[in-house]
Amino acid sequence: MDNYNGFLSLMGNKIIAKTLKHKRLYFEVDNKDIIEVSDYLFNKLGCRLSTATAQESYRGIEVLYHFSHDKTGDYYCPRVVISDKKNPKMNSITPLFIGAEWIEREMAEMYGVYFEGHPNPEPLLTGNHPRNLTQPLRHRRNNE
Amino acid sequence: MSWYNKRLAKSIWVFHVSASPCNNCDIEILDLLTPKYDIERFGIKLVGSIRHADVLLVSGVINQKVAPKVKQIYDQAPRPIFVVGIGTCPASACSFKRSYNIVEKREDIIPFDLIIPGCPPKPEAMIEGVAKLIGVLNG
Amino acid sequence: MNKNVIPIGPYHPLLEEAEYFTLQVDGETVVDIDLEIGWMHRGHEFISESKTFTQSIYLVERICGICSTSHPLACAHAVEDIDNIEIPLRAKYIRTLVGELERIHSHLLWLGLAGHFIGYDTLWMWAWKYREPVLQMFEIISGNRNHYGMLRVGGVAKDVDPNKIKGLLDILDDIQKKLEMIAKAAKDDPVLKSRLVGVGKLSKQEAINYCAVGPTSRASGIPADVRKDEPTDAYGLVDFDVIVTQNGDVYDKLVLRILETFESIKICNNCKFLILSKSRTSSRIRGRRAGSPRPGPRGTQGPGGPGRGAAMSRP
């Protein structure tokens, strides 16, 4: 926990809930704060975006970014929960650095999340598909 | 056309089509050209265009996006053409059966004449498959 | 200014997979590039939703046929992180040995393909000839040349017989001598230098912006190596150096991969002494599943109740 004290004292008011595992800090932020937190992690601390994952759960669609601080081996993982399942939208962090472009395009085509501010919102893997696949990783239930 | 097939068996020219494989079978095909399993001593070589080819080597479980292109390649090949499937993926798509993105029957897209199973098949198995093909061509 | 557009793909003699590039060229120099992918997409995330942990290790291996140990290592580490599973010491050394042997085979493959694409087929034939003994060693250890299936959650699947591994040391010495010859050739050869120096330059700030990792970022001057920053398995117990070069073009990547292969041979030589000795304390290779009816090797039971599905090892 000692490595994360500097970060927690600065951004503590934006964090809703947090969990600390061995060398990984998972915390939840609101949609309006994700750009500021990512800006601090990428530019001031010098972290690298390792990957980003998405999952559909009972709370909504959760998008989890994994930032890796290479000098010490620690991970900072902010999570955004989008509760509107019919039209999910959130802010995109691609204007900060270009490395997040492709992973956000893939999350958009697999889960249907619209990233506001993304410079190139085309599907990555299923463009020009002969069968027109839409959102293959969402749950399919009969009563929705 | 059996006299033509006998001439063909002396030196077969091969075109490689990778219809969404994991690239392991492709590396084993390129391994056949290296000094340990030298297949160029039989006159077999890899060519760059489908119009020059006698045998088509297909590897991978065929994707829904790439299926029209594979069908187009098969239609553009000059007759007679023989299709050889490499690996377990063209035979049965074993690991990827439940995917949303693969075709249901691979025989609808392209008809196979010979399948060499294995994940990946060893280069010795591929040479035995080629030898069986040459034996069939010779009558 | 005239701009010519060349479409390459999806099927082309230069490409191993199916990809579609649209190049804008000015003579022989590529000015801009456009890219469309998706012809290899098979949907691994969807298939693995209905598999067990052991089945998903086999599925994840088939993402790529060349780097066939990196993906199962990542998958096994993720599952072991969830439950804080500890791995026995012998399994750590076996995992490191398999990982580093695969790094040797993968770098030799890259070297050969780099020579083939610039038309230098001699380099291709030599590099792939010295890759064959490494694949033979894999067949002795695990039964297959690629897609080994050696990893499980909590350890490894098979033990390594010390009698069969004695030939490994001679093979690694042989590869080291031949690689020294290739390294000297790469330094003096005018063909490699004139084709590869200054081509495909990735500057340091661009590598940080694109979040590059691995040999691509180490060739641009960023000294980050996950084996040193977050050592898992036996990487904290062996010593090796991190190679960094400054220029970021293709020639630097070639030199970096040759030097990294020497470091991998050093790590394999460091791992061998534990494998050659088969003592009683270090002979367990996999954590035992909790609630199993067999007793432990000294007559004691494992901890935990029947509710846990993951393999648990005793500390």
- Using the beta-carbon criterion (under 8 Å), do B65 and A126 form an inter-chain contact? yes
pLDDT at A113: 92
Nearest-angstrom CA–CA distance, C242 and C246? 13
> Domain check: are C115 and C221 in the same one?
yes
- Using the beta-carbon criterion (under 8 Å), do C210 and A99 form an inter-chain contact? yes
Instruction: Please give the single-letter amino acid code of residue A30.
Output: D
Q: The domain that contains C196 carries what CATH number?
A: 1.10.645.10
Interface B-C, measured as beta-carbon pairs within 8 A, has a size of 98
Angle at which helices C250-276 and C89-117 pack, to 10 degrees?
150
| B46 found inside a domain | yes
pLDDT at A2: 74
| C55 found inside a domain | no
Q: Kindly report the nearest CA distance between residue C124 and chain B, in angstroms.
A: 8
Tally of structural domains, chain B = 1
What mean pLDDT do residues B6-24 have?
88
Q: Looking at chain C, which residue has its C-alpha nearest residue A51?
A: C211
Which residue do the tokens 């490894």 mark? C156
Output the CA torsion C191→C196→C197→C201 (10° steps). Answer: 170
> Domain check: are C31 and C94 in the same one?
no
- Using the beta-carbon criterion (under 8 Å), do A126 and C81 form an inter-chain contact? no
**pTM beyond 0.90, yes or no:** no
- Using the beta-carbon criterion (under 8 Å), do B66 and C39 form an inter-chain contact? yes
Nearest-angstrom CA–CA distance, C23 and C35? 9
Q: The domain that contains B98 carries what CATH number?
A: 3.40.50.12280
Nearest-angstrom CA–CA distance, B78 and B62? 22
Q: Kindly report the nearest CA distance between residue B24 and chain C, in angstroms.
A: 4
| C304 found inside a domain | no
- Using the beta-carbon criterion (under 8 Å), do A130 and B68 form an inter-chain contact? yes
pLDDT at A144 over 60: no
Q: Which chains, if any, share at least 3 CB pairs under 8 A with chain C?
A: A, B
Output the CA torsion C119→C120→C123→C124 (10° steps). Answer: 20
- Using the beta-carbon criterion (under 8 Å), do B101 and C41 form an inter-chain contact? yes
pLDDT at A63: 94
For residue B89, the enclosing domain spans 2-134
> Domain check: are C125 and C246 in the same one?
yes
> Domain check: are C109 and C222 in the same one?
yes
Question: Which of A73, A124, A137 faces C229 most closely, judged by CB atoms?
Answer: A73
- Using the beta-carbon criterion (under 8 Å), do B120 and C58 form an inter-chain contact? no
From chain C, the residues in CB contact with B28 under 8 A are: 145-146
Which residue do the tokens 């089509």 mark? B17
> Domain check: are C13 and C157 in the same one?
no
Which range is least confidently modeled, A109-113, B113-117, C28-32, C72-76?
Answer: C28-32
Interface A-B, measured as beta-carbon pairs within 8 A, has a size of 13
What mean pLDDT do residues A107-132 have?
89
- Using the beta-carbon criterion (under 8 Å), do C229 and A125 form an inter-chain contact? no
pLDDT at C107: 94
What mean pLDDT do residues B135-139 have?
83
pLDDT at C314: 39
Query: pLDDT tens across A55-84, in order?
Result: 999 999 999 999 999 888 889 999 999 998
| B89 found inside a domain | yes
Residue A137 in contact with partner chain B when CB distance is under 8 A = no
Q: Looking at chain C, which residue has its C-alpha nearest residue A127?
A: C38
Beta strands in chain B (DSSP E): 13-18, 45-46, 55-59, 82-86, 114-116
| B139 found inside a domain | no
| B117 found inside a domain | yes
> Domain check: are C160 and C16 in the same one?
no
Residue C39 in contact with partner chain B when CB distance is under 8 A = yes
- Using the beta-carbon criterion (under 8 Å), do B95 and C13 form an inter-chain contact? no
Q: Kindly report the nearest CA distance between residue B65 and chain A, in angstroms.
A: 6
> Domain check: are C161 and C238 in the same one?
yes
> Domain check: are C254 and C113 in the same one?
yes
> Domain check: are C117 and C265 in the same one?
yes
pLDDT at B56: 92
Q: For all residues of chain B together, what is the average pLDDT?
A: 89
> Domain check: are C113 and C26 in the same one?
no
Residue B65 in contact with partner chain A when CB distance is under 8 A = yes
pLDDT at A118 over 90: yes
| C60 found inside a domain | no
Query: pLDDT tens across B60-111, in order?
Result: 999 999 999 999 999 999 988 899 999 999 988 888 988 888 898 888 899 9
Nearest-angstrom CA–CA distance, A84 and C228? 42
Residue B102 in contact with partner chain C when CB distance is under 8 A = yes
Residue B67 in contact with partner chain A when CB distance is under 8 A = yes
- Using the beta-carbon criterion (under 8 Å), do B65 and A136 form an inter-chain contact? no
Query: pLDDT tens across A4-31, in order?
Result: 888 888 888 888 888 888 888 999 999 9
Residue C16 in contact with partner chain B when CB distance is under 8 A = yes
- The 3 state secondary structure assigned to C131-177 is CHHHHHHHHHHHCCCCCCCCEECCEECCCCCHHHHHHHHHHHHHHHH
pLDDT at C280: 46
Instruction: Please give the single-letter amino acid code of residue B125.
Output: A
From chain B, the residues in CB contact with C129 under 8 A are: 34-36
Q: What is the pLDDT along chain C (315 residues), one digit of tens a residue?
A: 667 899 998 888 888 888 999 999 988 888 899 999 989 899 899 998 889 988 999 999 999 988 889 999 999 998 888 878 888 888 888 899 999 999 999 999 999 999 998 888 998 999 999 999 899 889 888 888 989 888 888 888 888 877 777 777 788 888 889 889 888 887 888 888 888 998 889 999 999 999 999 999 999 999 999 898 888 888 988 889 999 999 989 999 999 999 999 999 999 888 877 667 765 444 555 655 444 444 444 434 444 433 333 344 433
> Quick one: pLDDT band at residue B17, thresholds 50, 70, 90?
very high
Of B24, B46, B28, nearest in space to B37 by CA? B28
Q: How many CA atoms lie within 13 A of C259 on its CB side?
A: 16
For residue C198, the enclosing domain spans 87-276
| C288 found inside a domain | no
Q: Looking at chain B, which residue has its C-alpha nearest residue C124?
A: B34
Q: Kindly report the nearest CA distance between residue B116 and chain C, in angstroms.
A: 16
> Domain check: are C117 and C228 in the same one?
yes
Residue C240 makes CB contacts below 8 A (sequence gap 6+) with C227, C263, C264, C266, C267
Query: pLDDT tens across A89-104, in order?
Result: 999 999 999 999 999 9
Residues 11-30 of A with CB under 8 A from C: 21-24
- Locate C303 and state its tokens: 């901890």
- Using the beta-carbon criterion (under 8 Å), do C213 and A48 form an inter-chain contact? yes
Question: Which of C41, C46, C109 faces B63 most closely, judged by CB atoms?
Answer: C41
Q: Kindly report the nearest CA distance between residue C279 and chain B, in angstroms.
A: 35
pLDDT at B48: 87
| C261 found inside a domain | yes
Domains of chain A plus CATH, in order, are: 5-87 (3.30.460.80)
pLDDT at B1: 61
> Domain check: are C140 and C19 in the same one?
no
Q: Classify B22 as helix, strand or coil.
A: coil
pLDDT at B112 over 80: yes
- Locate C13 and state its tokens: 């003699």
